[in-house]
Amino acid sequence: MADNGLFDKVYNPDVLTCLANLSNDEVFTPPEVVNNMLDLLPQELFCNPDSKFLDPACKTGVFLREIAKRLITGLEPQFPDLQERLDHIFHNQLYGIAITEMTSLLSRRGVYCSKYPNSEFSVSLFDDAQGNIRFKRTEHKWRDGKCVYCGANEKQYKRENDLETYAYEWIHIARPEDIFKMKFDVIISNPPYQLNNGGGSGSGATPIYHNFVQQAKKLSPRYLCMITPSRWFAGGNGMDSFRKEMLTDGHIRTIVDYPNAGDCFPGINLNGGVSYFLWDKTYRGNCDFTNISNGKKSSSIRNLNEFDIFIRYNEAVSIIHKVLKKTTSTMEDLISAQTPFGFLTSYRGRSNKAINDVTVYSSRGPSYASRGEVTRNIEWIDKWKVLIGKALSGHAGEMDANGQAKIIAATKIIGPNEVCTQTYLVVGPSNTKQEAESIHSYLCTKFVRFLMMPTMVSISISGGSFRFVPKQNFNKIWTDEELYKFYELSEEEISFIESIIKPMDGGDD
């Protein structure tokens, strides 16, 4: 009888589970997550000897390995002899493209039980040392200092021949169908997420995961399943066109979203969380969307294109509908641009105040500068201003261990002759202290910060973060209770807001 536990015996404990916790840059996928993704596919694919599977971004080979396990079981009736079955599966059904030379060896070891599948140790013998998991050193194509395919910075990624280029073959070719010259039933992967463009992490990183998705669509597979950062839900950082493409596609049957990436990849911090999707070439309709946060699961059939960004919390949709029904304008146009007075975060003012100096607030506290040093929004100097920290509380508004988020990290009311550095954004400004206090009270409500939450997929707040926050008459101190009542929120909706938004600390931070 065939030994369907072949891979289980080879890996005990599972080395790929250990590797899944090693890196933030090119995240290795735990076998459990891979199998959750495979469960989305029609399971008859694993009983069909003609099904073909491709992973265009192999790191450990875990996708191909877990597919092989299912095929070993599903094809037993057609191929009772285990060796014949293995040979058919590995030679005719499983294909991969490794992202580096090292991961090609790791992937072959994970799939063929030998890094060289033409050796005696391979579970299925090939004529060459690559088998069906290839790695080809690929070069970037430079134009004006950037790669035309992935946007990599030439100064950083133009390498000597003995160094890794990170020019991934799958996204550095105009015709990906020429690589294997065949049609695939399933393309499934966890692609690299970004390339450093020389400015560090966050704003210093160029996303590339969407290129893997778009290349896969060129091959017109029956099914496409990939796990990526969820930042595309709200766009930004060059992702607006990809967001629109995904939301209007109509072929996305399923999305499973983790606002806290650590719920999917233990030990990994990834701003905005991660999600995986199933794209079905023959399907047109709404999407079965599931949000998993701190062990709580919420599912709903959704129209992905209902808003210009995607609302990741199912419970938030009805609340936003009620708010927009009574909203004529939003707070978006009351939020300043970055660096509202021209002072960068690194600005160091004087420690002693001279006559006619302005006070400059930063994350390090107040310092002083002359009025002539203010280069932007000079007319705001003598007004009242509400400041909010530009950086979100936590990682892109992710929930803490209690399943709650604060969203706005810091607030402050400043008066005439006071300004701030790039650390803050200005809300307003206001002609009176009373109006500023009203704005401040409104921003501190859970209601406002909840309506900001759907936009939070990066590390910073901007005007766009307030696209769902209605503008009010700022002549009073606002409370959650009256806002809940005015917008006719149900007890269940109020309870949801209260359960996931932390209270502010009661005063200026």
Q: Which 8-state DSSP code applies to residue 275? A: E
Q: Give long-range contacts, CB 8 A cutoff, 24+ apart: 297-301.
A: none
pLDDT band for position 232 (cuts 50, 70, 90): very high
Q: Position of tokens 């160029």? A: 206
Give mean pLDDT, residues 234-255. Answer: 91
pLDDT of 396 strictly over 70: no
Give the model confidence (pLDDT) of 399-454 as tens digits. Answer: 666 778 889 988 999 999 999 999 999 999 999 999 999 999 999 999 999 999 88
Q: Where are the beta strands (DSSP E) in 259-303?
A: 274-280, 287-293, 296-302
CA-to-CA distance for 464 and 477, rounded, in angstroms? Answer: 24
SS3 338: coil
E strand or H helix at 56, and its extent?
strand 53-58
Q: Which of 13-27, 189-203, 334-348, 361-375 has the lowest mean pLDDT?
A: 13-27
Strands 146-147 and 142-143: antiparallel
| Phi-psi map region of 133: left, alpha, beta (phi>0 left; psi -120 to 50 alpha) | beta
271 with 237: CB under 8 angstroms? no
pLDDT at 26 (0 to 100): 65
Of the candidates 383, 380, 460, 390, the residue with the CA atom closest to the CA atom of residue 421: 390
Number of Cβ atoms within 10 Å of the Cβ of 421: 24
pLDDT at 164 (0 to 100): 82
416 with 430: CB under 8 angstroms? no
CA-to-CA distance for 274 and 256, rounded, in angstroms? Answer: 9
pLDDT at 272 (0 to 100): 82
**Both structure tokens of 117:** 């599948």
pLDDT of 458 strictly over 70: no
E strand or H helix at 188, and its extent?
strand 186-189
Q: Which of 253-262, 273-282, 387-396, 458-467 has the lowest mean pLDDT?
A: 387-396
Distances from the Cα of 373 to the Cα of 54, 141, 337, 473, angstroms: 58, 43, 18, 34
Predicted TM-score of the model (pTM): 0.85
Average pLDDT, the chain: 90
The segment with the largest mean pLDDT, out of 139-153, 262-276, 383-397, is 139-153
Of the candidates 451, 422, 439, the residue with the CA atom closest to the CA atom of residue 324: 451
pLDDT band for position 398 (cuts 50, 70, 90): low
263 with 292: CB under 8 angstroms? yes
410 with 388: CB under 8 angstroms? yes
pLDDT of 24 strictly over 70: no
pLDDT at 2 (0 to 100): 41
461 with 424: CB under 8 angstroms? no
pLDDT of 90 strictly over 80: yes
pLDDT band for position 4 (cuts 50, 70, 90): low
**Both structure tokens of 368:** 């002083």
pLDDT at 373 (0 to 100): 97
The angle at the Cα of 5, spanning 72 to 133, to the nearest 5 degrees, equals 55
pLDDT of 150 strictly over 60: yes
107 with 117: CB under 8 angstroms? no
pLDDT of 204 strictly over 90: no
| Phi-psi map region of 352: left, alpha, beta (phi>0 left; psi -120 to 50 alpha) | beta
Give the model confidence (pLDDT) of 293-313 as tens digits. Answer: 878 899 999 999 999 889 989
Strand partners, 186: 53, 223
pLDDT at 1 (0 to 100): 35
